[in-house]
Structure 1
């Protein structure tokens, strides 16, 4: 059964009502200690220096009359009532890239005191919420799908300050693009939701990830592009319109073999994503506050942090520290 996530002019389908539905059922127990690991969620090389502990800082997402981005403190950072949904926050948490109805790519500062806005490129696809731009791991470049026809979409990147426009290649998976920390790979899902595709920015070639059938969200790539975090669908599921989800059940796949990798965290999982150093952060539902569980390269539990209760029903869009 085919789904189609790219409805022209689609409004944001993830309303406050659907957000509440996604997060309405509280967890019955606090996250348990990790079970013995069956397989490593990542293939990151061991670091000679231990990474700094995560502090739980992030950018949160809420829907209502448009989109509202907030800091973990609850302070509003950015609002958008255009309802296009085509936006993404930089890894450093300082900027948001967004696409307007004229296909212009903007970069705005997340200051909370009004927009410091710059148009960095034109000709972007303005189709529906799933065609979000993607930030490079150093927060210096923005990748985006170019407008056009056909089953394969050209992806380009421009500097966050403007200039340096370069085509990166074509892919059949332009939805919810995410960039690996080594800068080599972009991953996205097909507009029909049929599969995840990887775009190699060096060779400018793309391929489909084996083993992954229907998805409507690509959340993250491991630093080397060997693991991908997605939201999978069954043929009976509603694909939605591709808006940023407030919560999803994460699945991790090996992008070469298509093997599904177990996430050794108990509880109701709401999100998962890789950090630049290869650690996997898993968001777990809680009764009064959600929890972030940080896993090491071998799946070992490194850290557990409680989020602020005020953010329990919001989506976690970006982890910044």
Structure 2
């Protein structure tokens, strides 16, 4: 497996939200993972920061804040936050995939014992419904095996092998996983049904995969130049998002002005784009047709922190 120098993460944190009317024309359909494709306005967001050798996650929703901590010891930063912000899946130095829940909602639980450990980009990934977790399996091959397990530890299955094992992310329909290679040499899609992997055309080098559209047709990545350092990286505080059509390789324009700090697809196909502000950042929500339908103003205190989830 191609995983190089470890990189240190930095502090991230908390947000607040305002709402506007939901996107018109909702079908209210349901994906194969059971996620309702409705259009509820964005109501909150999820953030993290590195603290005490581990991770502190903070979720803001409906004016309330909740949090939990994971890690410590030899924690390498291999984690993913559930869509609801109430659970964190992470890999410890004993190759165990663990799920830690928010205070009062359940104890820490080991759900798998064969996870790859040692590089911050080797992160697990939650399905959009929060019921299953994909994770890289320990091994020595460049094309790493990926397994899927229930959040309760049941129903383990093999998803196939892929060169794109870094910063795995699911499509909301539950069919596709995307990730970049540990040496930043491209992005790959793993079809969890056929268990086959293919490279996304058009993306030459990428240092982060943030999100897939619900049907897996578009991917949000952080592209890097030819002279940029390779190696497996931790979750970035911010990045300039590039969106590519995963079939044609065409780059898709993001119709939002300003300095963009990231972008994430919601489970119904809306796109949440984070935009840098002078005193506070803004989350701009676009419809599936690319029209602005909502703006969420973040508090000034999170201006330099990083976003890891949007609730809506």
Tell me if both proteins adopt one fold, taking TM over 0.5 as the criterion.
yes
Which residue in 2 is equivalent to 1:123?
114
Q: CA deviation at 1:64?
A: 4.5
Which residue in 2 is equivalent to 1:228?
219
Q: CA deviation at 1:204?
A: 0.5
Which residue in 2 is equivalent to 1:88?
80
Consecutive unaligned residues of structure 1, counting only runs of 5 or more, are 20-45
Which residue in 1 is equivalent to 2:8?
13
Q: 1:104 aligns with which of 90, 96, 99?
A: 96
TM-score (norm 1): 0.84
1:1-321 pair list within 5 angstroms? 5-7=3-5, 10=6, 12-15=7-10, 47-49=26-28, 51-55=39-43, 57-66=44-53, 67-72=55-60, 75-81=66-72, 82-111=74-103, 116-239=107-230, 241-321=232-312
The whole-number CA distance in structure 1 between the counterparts of 2:272 and 2:187 is 21
The whole-number CA distance in structure 2 between the counterparts of 1:244 and 1:277 is 24
Residue aligned with 1:310, SS: helix
Q: CA deviation at 1:104?
A: 0.4
TM-score (norm 2): 0.86
Aligned length: 285
The whole-number CA distance in structure 2 between the counterparts of 1:263 and 1:247 is 16
Contact 2:169 2:209 in 1 (8 A): yes
Consecutive unaligned residues of structure 2, counting only runs of 5 or more, are 13-24, 29-37
Q: CA deviation at 1:235?
A: 1.3
Computed over aligned residues only, the root mean square deviation of the Cα atoms, in angstroms, reads 1.9
Q: CA deviation at 1:163?
A: 1.7
The whole-number CA distance in structure 2 between the counterparts of 1:239 and 1:200 is 26
Q: CA deviation at 1:116?
A: 1.8
Contact 1:176 1:219 in 2 (8 A): yes
Q: CA deviation at 1:14?
A: 2.6
Q: CA deviation at 1:312?
A: 1.6
Contact 1:5 1:239 in 2 (8 A): no
Mark the CA change 1:13 to 1:98 in structure 2 (over 3 Å): closer, same or farther: same
Q: CA deviation at 1:65?
A: 3.6
Contact 2:10 2:237 in 1 (8 A): no
